[in-house]
Amino acid sequence: MTRAKRFSWILGVIFIAIFVLGMVPTALAEDLGDIIITQIGVGEEKNSKVNLEFSVKQAVSFTADTIKIYGIYPSANQTIVTSVESEFPKDGTNVKDLEDDRYIMKVSVSKDFPKGMQKAEFFVLYTKNDSGPLQQSVDFYFEKTSAPTTTPDPNDNQTPGETIPALVLDSTRLDGTVLAAPKGDAGDTIRVVLPIRNRASEGFVSGFSGIVKNGEVAPVISADLNTFPFELQEMVYMRPLPTMAPGAKTEVVYDFKISKNATSGVKAVTFNAVYDLDNVRQTAQFTVFVNVIKGAQAEIPGGQKPVSVPKIIIDAYKLSPDKLFAGEEFKLSMDFTNTSDSEDVKNLKITVKDESGKILPAANGSNTLYVKKIAKGDTVTCEIALQSAPDIEAKSHTLTVAFNYEGGSTLTTYDAVETLSLPISQRIRLKIDDPVIYADSAMVGQPVGMFFSLYNMGKSTIYNCMVSVEGEGLSMEETYFGGNIGSGSSMQADFAVIPSVAGQIQGTVVITYEDAYGEQLREEKPFELFVMEDYVVPPDGEFPGKPGDGDVFNPGMPVKQGMPGWLIIVLIVAGVAALIFGIRMLVKARRKRELEEL
């Protein structure tokens, strides 16, 4: 190799090294959606211990969401991290309070993994706006410097770290349903279910059956209500486990009563399991997260209890009129309740606002209300006049009600926001032409064609439009379905009516449809129809009577021998068809003139 080539090769290696090292910080910062965990550098294993240094921040800094973190735990999907010796704070600290600092989590790692860069999967436990417990995964990287205690068999296809099967918690129950996190208020009795699965595979390791025997599981009892938030009601909490073949699953059920002194928040409850795996005693640890929704008040250092904050809520609201239409004025009545049982509120300022700008104060009105005082536990009713825009969309609109007030004794200022739902409709305007009948008369049992046009002149769509007829002896071959008719659109209904009674029939065309909220409405159009009795043509095609008997309608007159009866019928049918065609042409011409006049 020449000196120039050697120099080029060295420069290439240096460039690649710089590129890879430059990508490490980017690869170690993982966006979890709500929380960003950024590992600072790559940890190094020393005596099976690794220090993982990282920072924590909220993904969206300007959001109003409150995100509280309860800890970072090793995932059950990995086995390289065997325990966490110094855990990340898990007391429900607001993530924003943890920003701009560095944290170190000391973990123990398995000796069964080879040297080199390793990845360990963890999960972050947190809540968002006091919701139930949420989880998001995060990967940490470290350099393993020590060699495995045993040399793996090159013919064995096992995965490093999976040489010892273990019992794990499963995410679903025996019936296949997803396991929900147990929750309740202080003093409630809740059920905690542990779906335990034997994740070992038969023959996974040469000479092992993977069968679990003589298993037992029990919770870790503690006086700390943050780790065991229950009352002690049993002497022994140990539960036996059945013999479990590889892949088998069982359930262990506990009924716990949440202590009345347990504070609100998510509590991590630990369970330990011991069992025999191929005659070797093994252990496993499970963590179940219990959500205490309404708990006891936490004491402030020094023995003081937190001061109750007076809270204003909208207890009820009423609209007048009950149904709101676009462009029309209405009144909104709201009941404001001071839920505090220890403090009055005063100088309550209420602001009503619609972000879309389609709901505004009525003429000469204001969107602000003022209440001088609301005593503790009392309710005050306020009313405001509003008006929606004429072109507002027919749907349920969200109205924001913000209030600012002061504590009656502490003079502390508080802010709160609530939202109301206002369903607003557009008035429906339809123009319906008079029905047109394709014949001056009809015969009993014979269909006769009808036609009419419908025009939607309103600003909202009508839905599921259907046409039927009502009247003595009137029916349709099938109901006419016009579907949805948008604003500015029309429907041309062409259908047949079958009369069953002779005479002058008074009938009604019925149009039914639904508005945007599913309310069914109805329109009617009357019509008249003359119906004749049906007659039967003899098989020879001639009208009743014999030659020489005279005309059927004029007895005594000689019968004129003319064209056969079948030809007469053909001519009648042709004449009726020509008449129908002519009427339809006249109807279309009249409809075209009406549309031009609109």
Separation CA 94–CA 126 (nearest Å): 10
- pLDDT, tens digit (0-9, with 9 covering 90-100), for 554-567: 555 555 555 666 67
The pLDDT score that the predictor gives to residue 522 is: 93
H or E, element range at 368:
strand 368-374
The residues, any chain, with a CB within 8 Å of residue 63's CB and separated by 6 or more, are none
**CB-based contacts of 32-35 (< 8 A; 24+ apart in sequence):** 32/59, 32/124, 32/136, 32/137, 32/138, 33/59, 33/136, 34/58, 34/59, 34/60, 34/65, 34/67, 34/126, 34/128, 34/134, 34/136, 35/59, 35/67, 35/69, 35/95, 35/124, 35/126, 35/136
What's the pLDDT score for residue 117? 78
> What is the per-residue pLDDT for 414?
87
Average pLDDT (402-409) is 87
Highest mean pLDDT among 65-69, 151-155, 409-413, 592-596: 65-69
Q: How much is the mean pLDDT over the chain?
A: 80
* pLDDT recorded at residue 290: 93
pLDDT in tens, 369-401: 999 999 988 999 999 999 999 888 888 888 999
Return the pLDDT at 4: 54
Q: What pLDDT shows up at residue 308?
A: 65
pLDDT > 70? residue 460:
yes
pLDDT at 555: 53
pLDDT bracket for residue 597 (50, 70, 90)? low
What value does the mean pLDDT take over residues 582-587? 74
pLDDT of 114 over the 80 cut? no
- pLDDT exceeds cutoff 70 at 438: yes
Q: Kindly indicate the confidence band of residue 149, based on its pLDDT and cuts at 50, 70 and 90.
A: low
Q: How many other C-beta atoms can be found within 10 angstroms of the C-beta atom of residue 318? A: 12
Taking 90 as the threshold, does the pLDDT of residue 547 lie above it?
A: no
Q: Whole-angstrom Cα distance, residue 576 to residue 563? A: 19
Write out pLDDT tens, residues 242-299: 998 888 899 999 999 999 999 998 899 999 999 988 777 888 899 999 999 998 876 6
Residue 530 CB-half CA count within 13 A: 3
pLDDT of amino acid 544: 54
SS (H, E, C) 194-246: EEEEECCCCCCCCCCCCCEEEEEEEECCCCCCCCCCECCCCCCCCEEECCECC
What pLDDT, on a 0 to 100 scale, did the predictor assign at position 560? Answer: 52
- Span 34-59, average pLDDT: 84
User: So what's the pLDDT on residue 161?
Assistant: 40
Cα–Cα distance list, 401 to 416, 490, 527 (Å): 9, 41, 53
> Please, are residues 159 and 110 in contact by the beta-carbon 8 Å criterion?
no
pLDDT of residue 352: 92
Tokens 């004794």 locate to: 409
Q: Token pair for residue 577?
A: 């068809």
* Rg of the chain, C-alpha, whole Å: 41
Region of poorest pLDDT, from 19-33, 518-532, 538-552 = 19-33
Q: What is the pLDDT of residues 223-254, one digit of tens each?
A: 899 999 999 988 889 999 999 888 889 999 99
What's the confidence (pLDDT) of residue 54? 86
Residue with tokens 């005279």: 550
pLDDT at site 191? 94
The model's pTM: 0.38
CA 391 distance to own-chain centroid: 29
CA–CA gap between residue 44 and residue 142 (Å, rounded): 5
Assigned token pair, 26: 């980017």
Residue percentage of the chain with pLDDT more than 90: 30
Comparing 242 with 100, the larger pLDDT belongs to 242
The CA distance from 598 to 593, in Å, is 9
Token reading at 326? 């676009």
Q: Which amino acid belongs to residue 383?
A: E
Say if residue 539's pLDDT is above 60: no
Least confident window among 129-143, 193-207, 417-431, 542-556: 542-556
Find where tokens 């600003």 sit: 459
| Confidence label for 342 from pLDDT (cuts 50, 70 and 90) | confident
Alpha-carbon span 223 to 259, nearest angstrom: 11
The predicted-structure confidence for 180-229, as pLDDT tens digits, reads as follows 889 999 999 999 999 998 887 654 444 557 788 999 999 999 989 999 99
- 115: which DSSP letter? S
pLDDT digits over 163-182, tens only? 444 688 888 888 888 888 89
Pick the most confident of 305-319, 392-406, 561-575. 392-406
